[in-house]
Amino acid sequence: MKIFYSETHRRHQPPFEVFDGGVRVPYLENPDRMDRILNALRGVDWAEICEPADFGLDPILAVHDREYLDFLASAWTEWLDAAPKDPATLIPATFPLRRQPRKPTSLLGRAGYYIMDLSACIVEGTYPAALASANCALSAAQAVMEGERAAFALCRPPGHHAGKDYAGGYCFINNAAVAANWLTSCGRVAVLDVDYHAGNGTQDIFYERDDVLTISIHADPDFEYPHFIGFAEERGRGRGFGFHHNLPLPKGTGDTEYLLTLDQALQRIREFNPSFLVISAGMDIYADDPLGTIKVSTQGIGEIGRRIAALGLPSVIVMEGGYANDALGRNILAFLSNFDNGR
């Protein structure tokens, strides 16, 4: 299996993030996550680690707002030019409710407008890392389009919380959405999100489209981030109605219950009959993840991979969350081994 990975992700290393209540903690979405996965992949004979190609901005602008991307590109320079008291990272303190359409002109105003929470911290290397991450997803999509059964985009930063014009939840560019939209030139696409948190950004991007089926299995936003989106009644709008599905789960969901929900999602994908499948693969469904309350085992993650692979669809697997770093490598191997092109 081709694994697309770029060392550029190391340039995105915020010194901290802010948890609920204002607690400053070390950044959980850190380079160590990639090192654990890479070490595991280098121990198997079916993983071919490849550099991504550069696809330029056009595939990204096809799903993201240009002014938002301009903000990501210039935010760090503007931040330093503003001579802040603590220049370590750009985090806004004011988040507009977007009830008014006017976009602010000041840096901090735009930061609040384009960033939805205190985990999407911007440092000097954030924008190039996000571009490289999107190129990993696009390279995996190209490999699948050219005949690979499956390819893995080892993306960092992750992407599924990034909407058309906002960052959040460690995400800046929606890698899975960029890849899925790019694949629509060759047929209909299904996006299956198995990350612990709702794929609000992917929902935002495809909510009014009928050529991309989006399904997110996640912890119920009634108690979990992102709180404002991901409820079962959200099913799309306009021509996209019925082409989006949220399958929220209660705290403590284990292997058996998760797999029953997954089977519902897989049946909807079969009925949609797509040409390609994009999987937002979050490993924070793992039982010991520090940000999760769902209790799926490593064996359960392997079975999730097996059932998805059994669809027989050309599949682009995109790395999303997962913060139990000690277990990340074995969980990814359990998931990916079902998609190995040689098996």
Catalytic residue numbers, as ranges: 161
Quick one: which of 245, 238, 188 has its CA closest to 208?
A: 238
At 275, list the tokens.
């040409």
At 155, list the tokens.
């993306």
In which order are the strands placed within the sheet that holds 48-50?
A: 48-50, 2-4, 150-153, 315-319, 276-281, 189-193, 212-219, 244-249
Quick one: which of 223, 201, 193 has its CA closest to 285?
A: 193
Separation of alpha carbons 183 and 159, rounded Å = 17
At 317, list the tokens.
């697997």
Pairing relationship of beta strands 17-18 and 24-25 according to DSSP bridges: antiparallel
290, exposed or middle or buried, with CB in 10 Å at 0-12, 13-18, 19+?
exposed
